Structure 1
Amino acid sequence: MLPLARYRFTFRMAAPLRLPDYAGSLLRGQFGASLRRVACMTGAPTCEGCPLRATCPYPAIFEAPAPAEHAMQNFSHVPNPYVIEPPAFGTRHIDAGGTLQFGLVLFGRAVAQLPLVSFALQRAVEGGLGRERARGVLERIDWQHAAAGPATPYPAPQAFVPVWQQGDGAIAAHDAHLTLPASATHFTPERLTLAIHTPMRLQQQGKPLRPAALTPRKLVADLLRRISLLADFHAGRPGLVADAPALVRHAETLAHQPALRWQDWSRYSSRQQQEMTLGGAIGHWTLEGDLAPLLPWLWLGQWLHVGKNATMGMGAYALQP
């Protein structure tokens, strides 16, 4: 079992809200700023050199520090244990009185910080979003459950169930774990489609790969690397993907039929003080061959996403066997 859960936050907007084409960057930025305000005990301008950095939940969630050395390689940064899943691409306007809904995936030790994370999101939206600083009130938090069973070892994510509603004193107890299914010989589809609904940005030597250059090997390599690093740094599970090199080689045996297009979107980078254009592949990507060894990890990727900027919701997909 892995400490991993997806939540859906519903806010009732008191004023009209204008959103960019893709709101992942906006929501992530507002979340990070609010989380720092509610978690920081020292008021220091940066986390660097802070005596409480090792125990503060803010860097552990939002600015995961890279280790000085690691068996795999030296890291300049490591993946953070959350994913913001914004409203559907193209959602530009929410009327006053309407609802803003978005998802949040928490992994590893970050799962235990759900009350703090929820409070930070609540403060962020209460303080106002977007250029107009449109304010909203948190109405409910729902949790999504998915458990594998012998009949359906790779189930689709299930319906959301409420764990907190306006007026509740605390978030209700729930099992914030995901059972990773083992490879099942009685359920081995030879054809599987990834329905990719936010830009999947896989990179090679720092440059994004266009749809024509994507391969099953690259997909599997990037996904397994992300899973391995998250499990190692945030869940104390080094070696979760013990046979990663063999699985990457196995992915080279798969045939594939991409039906993908490139989707660009723009965001403003406060750090670089400029507008940045990001993009990735959207559409359907069908894999064919012996998929059994890869199915558990492809299934898990539905929660963790894959590729660059996954924390702002990029690289989201659903499996369609």
Structure 2
Amino acid sequence: MPALPLARYRFTFRMAEALRLPDYAGSLLRGQFGAALRRTSCMTRATTCDGCPLRTTCPYPAIFEAPAPAAHALQNFSHIPNPYVIEPPPLGTRAIAAGESLQFGLVLFGRALEHLPLISFALQRAAEGGLGRERAHGTLESLDVQDGNGTTFTCIWQAGDSAIDAHDTQVRLDPAPSSTPPARLDLHLHTPLRLQHQGQPVRPHALTPRKLIADLLRRITLLAEFHADRPGLLADAPALVRHADTLGHHPQLRWHDWSRYSSRQQREMTLGGALGTWTLEGELTPLLPWLRLGEWLHVGKNATLGMGRYVLSS
């Protein structure tokens, strides 16, 4: 499997004032990130990106509002996946006291990696301007990057540094990372997994390995094509989806609902997804690299908010 342009970063902010968080903070952090990135990037100060003469060169839409192609062989797209994932504090974290640290992750893929200094600066400005309804102020203390194995974090910037240290932004996922490929994998869902069929969420009892693999491979395919110029990365996706039908599975999952306010739709929205452990059994070797890639990129609806995050164990 070729190396992919991908990295997970960890931002640590020191809060000067107490910060209250919703039950699931992914939506709040995504909103603050987007607003700060637009303020930092936009040169025209237009109210929307539609019709802006700089849209094709501006980093804001490339990262946060990736434009869909006018035509595509697969289908006509109204939108495509954005090349980032916010990974908020653990589900249920409701408050950060004054003097304590707010820590969250940000996964960047493809060309979005080139904009890390801009993204870091935008997040600094967001915290300095105040987060949440109380506009709690904070300062960025450090920025860490995770190694390609998804284990160790290394500091690449801390307060007082003039620039972010050079670091590896390639991840290679070997198809058989161990001499004995596992016949069983547990997916531990850390944030709600929301797979949809015909616009409706698939409840835990109706989830299947085929649906999981199909949605995961589709997400990887679109990200690779539109954000990394890798249109042929998953030419064997149909065969892999069929292979998923041969797997046994044992979901031990529960449904978790949470609400967020949509500024675009001007209303409160209830979203939900499955939490718990989902066990897959069978010949997993062909699927292993893609399932491991899903640990970085998440899967399902609202992945950019951090939903659909899982960790594998065997």
TM-score normalised by structure 1 residue count: 0.96
Greater displacement, 177-186 / 48-57: 177-186
Q: Choose which of 245, 254, 271 in structure 2 pairs with 1:252.
A: 245
Instruction: Give yes or no for the alignment of 1:84 onto 2:86.
Output: yes
**Aligned twin of 1:150:** none
Q: Do 1:184 and 1:292's aligned partners in 2 also have CA atoms closer than 8 Å?
A: no
Q: What is the rounded CA distance, in whole Å, between the counterparts of 2:241 and 2:117 in structure 1?
A: 38
Q: Which amino acid aligns with 1:33?
A: A
Instruction: Give yes or no for the alignment of 1:130 onto 2:115.
Output: no
- Report deviation, 1:13: 0.2
- Report deviation, 1:185: 8.3
**Aligned twin of 1:18:** 20
Q: What is the rounded CA distance, in whole Å, between the counterparts of 1:125 and 1:316 in structure 2?
A: 25
Q: Do 1:196 and 1:283's aligned partners in 2 also have CA atoms closer than 8 Å?
A: yes
Q: What is the rounded CA distance, in whole Å, between the counterparts of 1:245 and 1:214 in structure 2?
A: 19
Q: What is the rounded CA distance, in whole Å, between the counterparts of 1:112 and 1:145 in structure 2?
A: 18
Q: Choose which of 202, 206, 214 in structure 2 pairs with 1:213.
A: 206
Q: What is the rounded CA distance, in whole Å, between the counterparts of 1:78 and 1:265 in structure 2?
A: 24
**Aligned twin of 1:188:** 181
Q: How does 1:1-321 map to 2 (within 5 A)?
A: 1-147=3-149, 157-183=150-176, 186-321=179-314
Q: Do 1:185 and 1:292's aligned partners in 2 also have CA atoms closer than 8 Å?
A: no
Identical pairs, percent: 73
Q: Which amino acid aligns with 1:267?
A: R
Q: Which amino acid aligns with 2:276?
A: G
TM-score normalised by structure 2 residue count: 0.98
Q: Do 2:12 and 2:102's aligned partners in 1 also have CA atoms closer than 8 Å?
A: yes
- Report deviation, 1:146: 2.1
Q: What is the rounded CA distance, in whole Å, between the counterparts of 2:75 and 2:103 in structure 1?
A: 38
Q: Do 2:148 and 2:170's aligned partners in 1 also have CA atoms closer than 8 Å?
A: no
Q: What is the rounded CA distance, in whole Å, between the counterparts of 2:197 and 2:123 in structure 1?
A: 34
Deviation string, structure 1 residues 227-246 (Cα, Å, up to 9, x no partner): 00000000000011110000
- State the secondary structure of the residue aligned to 2:66: coil
Q: What is the rounded CA distance, in whole Å, between the counterparts of 1:187 and 1:45 in structure 2?
A: 56
Deviation string, structure 1 residues 64-88 (Cα, Å, up to 9, x no partner): 0000001111100000000000000
- Report deviation, 1:188: 1.5
- Report deviation, 1:183: 4.3
Moved over 4 A (4+): none
Q: What is the rounded CA distance, in whole Å, between the counterparts of 1:137 and 1:284 in structure 2?
A: 36
Q: What is the rounded CA distance, in whole Å, between the counterparts of 2:194 and 2:218 in structure 1?
A: 15
Residues paired across the two proteins, number? 312
- Report deviation, 1:187: 3.1
CA-atom RMSD in angstroms: 0.9
Deviation string, structure 1 residues 211-250 (Cα, Å, up to 9, x no partner): 0010000000000000000000000000111100000000
